[in-house]
Structure 1
Amino acid sequence: MKGFLLSFRSEFYKTRKTLGFWGAIILPVLISSLAFVAVYTKSDNFVKMPPMGQWIQFSMIGLGSMGSLLLPIYTIFVAYSVNNVEHKADTWKTLFSLPISRWAVYSAKFLYALFLLFLCLTLFVVFNVAFGNLLSVVKPELKFNEYHIELLLIQVYYKLLLSALGILSIQFLLSLLWADFLKPMGLGFVATITGVILASNNWEYSYLFPYAHPMGAIKSMVKNNNGPARMLEIDIYTKDVYVSLIIAVVVFIAGYYIVQRKSVK
């Protein structure tokens, strides 16, 4: 456990000045700010909506972009940036020669990448709620303050996090094994575009393709219910999420055994 904590802490110090780390903060601020400006300038289109409708329209600006392209691409970039630190400095051999188990190093790197993903999505919830409530202050005719969407947003972004785990595990292993930029990032981008096409065209087996999971998670997030809109429920554990979790576990374990037996230069 001590080796794991030391490795995890070192990941923070090594990546705190990288775009992978700052992207977890910049993306939520930027997208939420753009959503704020969009609703502020077009407030007349939102005034007649009920408070819940205003929140949903406002939140979908960020959710739409995250579920389609931004989340998969950021996940790919995070997985690459965490391992690229070692590739760039050529410190893999030194790292694995330390009196810390390879399991501690490998798991700390993966969980740090997961932490950055978690931080990014958490900040999306925080800034979405903050900017929404700010709109009701600067534009009193908007009634964001009359409905609380916090729980629904937490559930939605939690589902998005789970849906991205399969991508993270695959890209983490690829970027660990390949030092160059083109192979892991290029394959990830092509797979993401393929996943978006499959999910957007409602292919019945798209849930088996991990890069289609974020968009699939957005499309399948609302439970079918005949109750009032106020009783809206988020269906978190859909089949795409289960497949994502299975892929994440299998690839994570397989990746460790590959790293354990491979001579990393």
Structure 2
Amino acid sequence: MKGFILSFRSEFYKSRKTAGFWGAIILPFLISLLALSIFYFKSEKFVAMSGMLLWLQFALVSLGVMGTLLLPIYTIFIAYSVNNVEHKADTWKTLFSLPISRWSVYGAKFAYAVFLVLLCLSLFVLFTIGFGNLLSLLKPELKFNTYHLEWVLTQVYFKLFLSSLGILSIQFLMSLLWSDFLKPMGIGFILTIVGITAASKGWEYAYTLPYAHPMVALSSMFKNKRGPAQDIAIDVFTKDVFVAVAVSVVVFIAGYFIVQRKSVK
């Protein structure tokens, strides 16, 4: 456990100045700021909306961009950037020669990649809530203060996080084994296009494709629930999420055995 913690801390120090780390912070800030700008400068279009509908429209600016396209691409980039630090410095042999088990090194790297994706999506929740409440002060005519969407947003982004794990595990393994940019990133982009196409066309088996999971997760997030209209029920654990988690576990374990037996250059 000590080796894992040391390795995880090392990943932070190595990546804290990289685009992968800062992207987890800047990306949600900029997209949420875009939503703030739209609602601030076009507030007259949203004055008649109820608090619930207003929050949904505001949140969908970020969700529409992140859930359909940016999340798969960002996940691919994170998986590449975490391992590219070692490829670029040619330090794989040095890293695996340290008195720390390969399991700790491999597990810490994957855990750090998971952490960056979780950090990014958590900041989307915080910035969406924060900017929405700021709008209620800047534009009192907007009814943001009449409804609370915090728990719903947390569930939605948690579901998106779980749906990204399958992509992350596959891309992490590819970027660990291949040092060049084109193979893992190129394959990832092609599979993302295939996944988005399958999900957008409503293919009934799209849930089996890891690269379609973020879009499928969004389309399957609302529960069929009777009750007051103001109650929004999110179905987090749908079959696409279970498949994503299962894929991530299987690929993660398989990746460890590959790394354990392979001489990493």
TM-score by length of 1: 0.99
Residues matched between the structures, number: 265
Counterpart CA distance in 1 for 2:91 and 2:69 is: 32
In the alignment, residue 194 of structure 1 is paired with which amino acid? V
Where does structure 1 differ by over 2 angstroms across 4 or more consecutive aligned residues? none
Q: Which residue of 2 aligns with 1:160?
A: 160
Distance 2:151 2:80 in 1: 32
**Partner amino acid for 2:105?**
V
Provide the secondary structure at the position in 1 that maps to 2:230.
helix
1:134 corresponds to: 134
Aligned-residue offset at 1:153: 0.4
TM-score (normalised: structure 2): 0.99
Identity rate, percent: 70
Alpha-carbon distance in 2 for matches of 1:23, 1:237: 28
* Structure 1 CA distance for aligned equivalents of residues 47 and 190 of structure 2: 41
Q: In 2, distance between residues paired with 1:229 and 1:33? A: 29
Local SS of the residue matching 1:172: helix
* 1:98 corresponding residue in structure 2: 98
2:220 aligns with 220
Indicate the residue corresponding to 1:186 in structure 2. Answer: 186
1:44 partnered with 2:47: no
> 1:229: how far off?
2.1
Q: Which amino acid aligns with 1:120?
A: C
Distance 2:195 2:94 in 1: 37
**Unaligned 5+ runs, structure 1:** none
Does residue 1:231 correspond to 2:231, yes or no? yes
Say which SS state the counterpart of residue 204 (structure 2) adopts: coil
C-alpha RMSD of matched pairs (Å)? 0.6
Partners of 2:23 and 2:69 lie apart in 1 by: 15
Kindly provide the CA deviation profile for residues 209-254 of structure 1, in whole angstroms up to 9, marking residues without a partner as x: 0000000001110101232222210000001000001100000000
| d(CA) in 1 for partners of 2:201, 2:261 | 41
* Larger displacement relative to structure 2 (220-229 or 191-200): 220-229
Instruction: Tell me how far apart the structure 1 counterparts of residues 86 and 161 of structure 2 sit (CA, whole Å).
Output: 26
Distance of 2:42 and 2:223 partners within structure 1: 30
CA offsets per residue over residues 3-49 of structure 1, 9 Å max, x none?
00100000001000000000000011000000001111221121111
**Residue of structure 2 in register with 1:15 after alignment:** 15
Alignment match, 2:33: 33
Q: Does 1:255 align with 2:255?
A: yes
Alpha-carbon distance in 2 for matches of 1:130, 1:146: 15
CA distance in 1, matches of 2:121, 2:92: 30
